[in-house]
Structure 1
Amino acid sequence: MATPADIAAMRRAIALAARGLGSTSPNPVVGCVITDAAGEIAGTGWHRRAGGPHAEVHALAAAGDRARGGTAYVTLEPCAHTGRTGPCAEALRAAGISRVVHAVADPTPQAAGGASVLRAAGVRVESGLLAEEAEAVNAAWLTSVRRGRPHVLWKYAATLDGRIAAEDGTSRWITSAESRADVHRLRAECDAVVIGSGTLAADDPHLAVRGIEGAVQPLRVVVDTHATATPGARVLDGAAPTLIAVGEHADTSRLTGVDTVVLPPGAGGGLDIHALLAVLYGRGVRSVLLEGGPTLAGAFVAAGAVDKVIGYLAPALLGAGPTALGGAGITTIAQALRLHMTETVRIGPDLRITAVAATIPAPAPAPAPVPVAKER
């Protein structure tokens, strides 16, 4: 049975893992805490970037000789393969770790098996401690492994009566400066930010991360079926990479030098959402922040491709104007996408509500095989 000290150490490892959000793709975020034989913390670490040392290696380096006879708390099962770095299971064994506690088993065939390697070497291995919390912080990578597509977080801002703009189309600003700053945190934690041509035309958003030191800029993606984007759009300014997804018959002559991809049509008349996610997956994107308007959000929901929702609700009423979600293929209450609320937080004067799908949507069609990094 886990002790309070075990729980505290794993919770700290989970917090460390979160520090890697937005900078480790296509690898997971992982945190590690090492205690010495007396149970005192000897070293900590987290996976900071793809291709760099894993969390266990950082923690072992910090612990030094104090690791011998100690315990390693790791949010993900230590890897057993050699990629751009060596196997962490072997590093833990060589350092003399006597006990390893990991929260979540590694689901990838390339990296899994570290627990078995450690047990075979006489190391005591325990799994499942704070698994739900560890899964939540690593949801993007785990979703990409299990479902073969990026994890999708849909974010929107609305009034208490669900309006995202007034009847005349004005929307700046529904929510507070504090909420808008929080959105930059979400962007910094994701690999790609996605909007549609409607949002591009209405708001000319920039979509790059501001105000967060050291943030890795996400890929800015515009779903633009008819290639209506103009060279002067702020999303094309070079502050971050940009991809324009267009339809098969779009005229892209105005987008010379812009990274574009042609996608097949989707069921609702726009572009195929599964094809878009397959393209992003092939580019190493494991987490998507959907910031588009109601039409694009509806297309993602209809495709069963929304894993998490964050709504910023302002204490205001408009009474008319567009709502946050457009047609999503839901015609009766029995078809409602039921969500499980995981958090409610005050952000300035606003309320931030976080919810995840209560039931897993039907699996999307598997993307075509693509060459991606296989390292954990």
Structure 2
Amino acid sequence: MAVHETERRAMTRALELAAGGPRGINPQVGAVILSPTGEILAEGWHHGAGTPHAEVDALSKLAEGAARGATAVVTLEPCNHTGRTGPCALALIDAGISRVIYSLDDPGVVSGGGAERLRNAGVEVESGEQSDTARAVIADWLTAHRLGRPHITVKWAQSLDGRAAANDGTSQWITGPLARADVHRRRAAADAIVVGTGTVLADDPALTARDGDALYEHQPIPVIIGSRTTPADAVVRRHPHEPLFYDTRDLHAVVAGLQSRGIQRVFIEGGPTLASAFLAAGLADSVLAYIAPVLLGGDRLALTDIGVPTIDGALRLTVEEWVPLGPDLLAVARMSENDPHVNEPDLNEGVR
């Protein structure tokens, strides 16, 4: 049975609800319950780990029996396991839901399979509605689920000839104000922003996400990697979040530590040494390269050694978007699917 226009609109609403939910160790999910005549009976979304899932949140707003014969429109396949909460597939069955429409299959080995359970109980199920939009909403969670670590974006700014600074070390500003504003907007979408102690000592950055002179409501947690001490009066110590310090060269340990804190989106902005180290370690999912129409020459390259001995070992990227930002140009790219760095085992069997 095809998805009706009313159900399609309900999915659009469910996706809006999902996008407004908190980011963290669980996916953002939204749900809308429709009456047999297409009226919205209830809405729900996942409010965070340990709270009712979106479907149960929506059902809780209805009187007993009010969902019988109704349709549940959900952005992710209803889960099929008991974790901190019970299986949503069973909750929908018990409520008398007769039809379920969802966007994406749950990739969890343990939590998946809800659609089959629903069908076995006689519930009509349709999948794939607005799946591309749903995938974009939880793209970072899907990466974290597949790889068992946060989604990592590596950012740098460079001259047209690939330099990050002039020979004397000055780099402010290679790019213009539009490019810098774009960086801050993308920082605000991250859970953590990572730099090395060298950047802290050289530039004394605030590591905040600013909208002009104001701070964005959401601020990434500052993370500083390196053995040198961050001065007591460093600007970053006045950040809205307490900085995290990692005195180690083991980037995998750093990433595991961030994952254990529920951090899902990591923004690497620590200069050529740190950016190159993350790329060389295979700890990069996407790249933001801001390119300014200036020439600097010299030895201060935007990237150093990233572990590519020959052209056959090149890290291949797929450019998803070229974004003009005044005189500058942003390349938004992801690691190509055929790159061995992205084909790591699934270490996460679902925590919903």
Q: Place the TM-score, normalised by the shorter chain, in its bin.
A: 0.7 to 0.9
1:268 aligns to what?
none
User: Which amino acid is the alignment partner of residue 312 of structure 1?
Assistant: Y
Q: Which residue does the alignment assign to 2:30?
A: 31
Following the alignment from structure 2 to structure 1, what is the Cα–Cα distance between the partners of residues 223 and 300? 23
Contact 2:109 2:350 in 1 (8 A): no
Give the match for residue 335 of structure 1.
313
Q: How does 1:123-134 map to 2 (within 5 A)?
A: 123-134=123-134
Q: How far 1:306 sits from its partner (Å)?
A: 0.6
- Match of residue 296 from structure 2: 318
2:337 is the alignment partner of 1:361: no
Superposed counterparts of 1:76-225, under 5 Å: 76-211=76-211, 214-215=217-218, 217-224=219-226
C-alpha distance in 1 between matches for 2:180 and 2:160: 17
- Structure 1 residues 2, 342: closer, same or farther in 2, change over 3 A? farther
Percent identical among aligned pairs is 50
Out of 253, 256, 263, the position equivalent to 1:285 is: 263
Deviation of the 1:60 alpha carbon: 4.6
Partner of 2:75: 75
Q: CA deviation at 1:214?
A: 3.9
- The alignment of Structure 1 onto Structure 2 pairs a total of residues equal to 345
- Partner-residue secondary structure (3-state), 2:194: strand
Q: CA deviation at 1:45?
A: 4.3
1:257 paired residue number: none
Deviation, 1:230, is: 1.9
> Relative to structure 1, is the Cα distance of residues 71 and 328 closer, same or farther in structure 2, using a 3 angstrom cutoff?
same
Q: CA deviation at 1:169?
A: 2.1
Q: Is the 8 A contact 1:89 1:115 kept in 2?
A: yes
Distance in 1 (CA, whole Å) between partners of 2:84 and 2:260 is 19
Whole-Å Cα distance in 2 between the matches of residues 130 and 349 of structure 1?
A: 35
* Gap runs ≥5 in structure 1: 247-262, 264-270
Shifted more, 326-335 versus 275-284: the winner is: 275-284
For residue 221 of structure 1, report the CA deviation from its aligned partner.
Answer: 1.2
Does the CA contact (< 8 Å) of 1:24 and 1:50 recur in 2? no
1:273 matched to 2:254? The reply is: no
Question: Any conservation in 2 of the 1:154–1:306 contact (CA below 8 Å)?
Answer: yes
Matched, 1:232 2:210: no
1:2 Cα deviation from its structure 2 partner: 5.5
TM-score (norm 1): 0.78
Shifted more, 300-309 versus 283-292: the winner is 283-292
Q: Kindly tell me: are residues 182 and 113 of structure 1, through their superposed partners in 2, closer, same or farther at Cα, counting changes over 3 Å?
A: same
Q: Identify which range, 177-186 or 326-335, moves more after superposition.
A: 177-186
Evaluate the alpha carbon distance shift between residue 297 and residue 116 of structure 1 in structure 2; reply closer, same or farther with a 3 A threshold.
Answer: same
Partners of 1:31 and 1:151 in 2: CA distance: 22
- Aligned residue type for 2:193: V
Query: Is the Cα contact below 8 Å between 2:188 and 2:216 reproduced in 1?
Result: no
Distance 1:52 1:39, change over 3 A: same
For the 8 Å contact 1:294–1:323, the answer to whether it is kept is: yes
Partner secondary structure for residue 189 of structure 1: coil
- Which of 260, 281, 284 is matched with 1:303 structurally? 281
Q: For structure 2, which runs of at least 5 residues remain unmatched after alignment?
A: none
For 2:140, the aligned partner's letter is A
Aligned-partner Cα distance in 1 for 2:61–2:84: 21
Which amino acid is the alignment partner of residue 311 of structure 1? A
Are the aligned partners of 1:298 and 1:328 in contact in 2 as well (CA < 8 Å)?
A: yes
Q: Return the offset for 1:142.
A: 1.8
Tell me, in whole angstroms, the C-alpha distance in 2 between the residues paired with 1:348 and 1:19.
Answer: 31
| TM-score, normalised by the number of residues in structure 2 | 0.82
Query: What does 1:255-266 correspond to in 2, within 5 Å?
Result: 263=248
Cα-to-partner distance string for 1:3-50 (whole Å, 9 max, x where unaligned): 583666545544543334xx3311112233444434465555443433
Larger mean CA deviation between 200-209 and 126-135 belongs to: 126-135
Rounded Cα–Cα distance in structure 2 between residues aligned with 1:347 and 1:68 = 52
Structure 1: distance between partners of 2:185 and 2:50:
24
